[in-house]
Amino acid sequence: MKFERYDSRFKAGEILAELIKEKDIELYNSILKNSKNFFCFAIPNGGVPVAEGFCSKFNINYDMLIVRKIKIPWNTEAGFGSITTDGSVLINKPLLNQLSLSEEELNKAINLTRTEIKERLQFYNKETNLEDIYKKIIHQKHIFMIDDGLASGFTMLAAIRMVQKYNPKKIFIAVPTAPLHTIQRIQSAVKFDELFCPNIRNVWRFAVADAYKAWRDLSEDEIVKIIENSKFYMK
């Protein structure tokens, strides 16, 4: 069947919920019956409206899991690693070895990213010490990891490894689009229980935007408006 591009990120989230019904009816029914045993993490900014659509189908709660790339000093659009909300660092070692960064450049890039994380937490009125909260909402829960799509997958890898620290019962990945090689990379790098993706493309040149009819980046002000009006966001 030919893939129809998503009308919106919210609609993509609803379609993800329907995909679970098609692929794993037992899981689907379990969510509907025991929604409090499940929790979602959305990677902002694009993952937030996807989570809204997804959670609206299941009546489960979600929170943002902020992940920032550690930027290459001379190409700030690219990164060689990621830092998550709780300060966990994941380095893309093969790429870092190619960059020949000095120790000073490496530490400066990491510290700059930590500062960005702190600023975003403050912007969203979140505590900077989140470990106790994560222990409560993750421990022995079924966790869905949601974004608007995967490119390299490194952001999702960092997010999953952070969540694993808090002993979830199961981890599920739910994304509207991804290249096959990225899914294979994640499968070989981290343990998770199931992945749901309606649009897996076996290509090397890949853009998340191609899966959407009207793609645009979302501003932080737009994200604030979404979560302020949300029935599912953990405030």
d(CA 61, CA 130): 17
Strand 38-42's sheet: what is its strand order? 62-64, 38-42, 142-146, 170-174, 194-196
27 and 113 share one domain: no
From the number of C-beta atoms within 10 Å of its C-beta (0-12, 13-18, 19+), residue 112 rates as middle
Asked if 143 and 219 sit in the same domain, the reply is yes
pLDDT in tens, the chain (235 residues): 567 899 999 999 999 999 999 999 999 999 999 999 999 999 999 999 999 999 999 999 999 999 988 988 887 777 888 999 888 888 888 888 888 888 898 889 999 999 999 898 888 888 767 888 999 999 999 999 999 999 888 889 999 999 999 999 999 999 999 999 999 999 998 999 999 999 999 988 899 999 999 899 999 999 999 999 999 999 8
In terms of residue numbers, what domain contains 172? 9-65+127-228
Judgement on whether residues 111 and 136 belong to the same structural domain of the protein: no
Q: Please, are residues 87 and 113 in contact by the beta-carbon 8 Å criterion? A: no
- 61, 176: one domain: yes
What's CA 137's distance to the chain center, in Å? 16
- Both tokens of 14, joined, read 């609803």
Q: Are residues 33 and 73 in the same domain?
A: no
Per-residue confidence (pLDDT) for residue 1, from 0 to 100? 54
Q: What is the spatial distance between Cα 117 and Cα 132, in angstroms, rounded to a whole number?
A: 18
Same domain, 117 and 154: no
Measured distance CA(225)–CA(205) in Å, rounded: 33
Instruction: Tell me the CATH number at 77.
Output: 3.30.1310
Task: Assess if residue 4 is contained within a domain.
Answer: no
Q: Give dist(CA 183, CA 152) in Å, integer.
A: 9
Are both 88 and 180 inside the same structural domain?
no
Same structural domain, 54 and 105: no
Residue 109 has which token pair? 């890039």
**pLDDT value for 217:** 92
Domain end call among 123, 147, 167:
123
Query: What is residue 76's predicted lDDT score, i.e. its pLDDT?
Result: 73
Q: What is the number of domains present in the chain? A: 2
| 168, 139 Cβ separation under 8 angstroms | yes
Residue 157 counted as domain residue: yes
Query: Is 233 a domain residue?
Result: no
Report field, pTM of the whole predicted structure over 0.75: yes
One domain for residues 202 and 108: no
CATH of residue 18's domain is 3.40.50.2020
Q: Could you tell me if 167 and 139 are in contact, meaning their C-beta atoms sit under 8 angstroms apart? A: yes
- The Cα–Cα gap between 160 and 198 comes to 20
CA distances for 69 relative to 72, 78, 99, 118, 169, angstroms: 9, 8, 15, 14, 27
Domain end, chosen from 81, 103, 123, is at 123
C-alpha–C-alpha distance, residues 209 and 214, integer Å: 8
Measured distance CA(15)–CA(21) in Å, rounded: 10
Which of 123, 155, 190 finishes a domain? 123
217 and 162 within one domain: yes
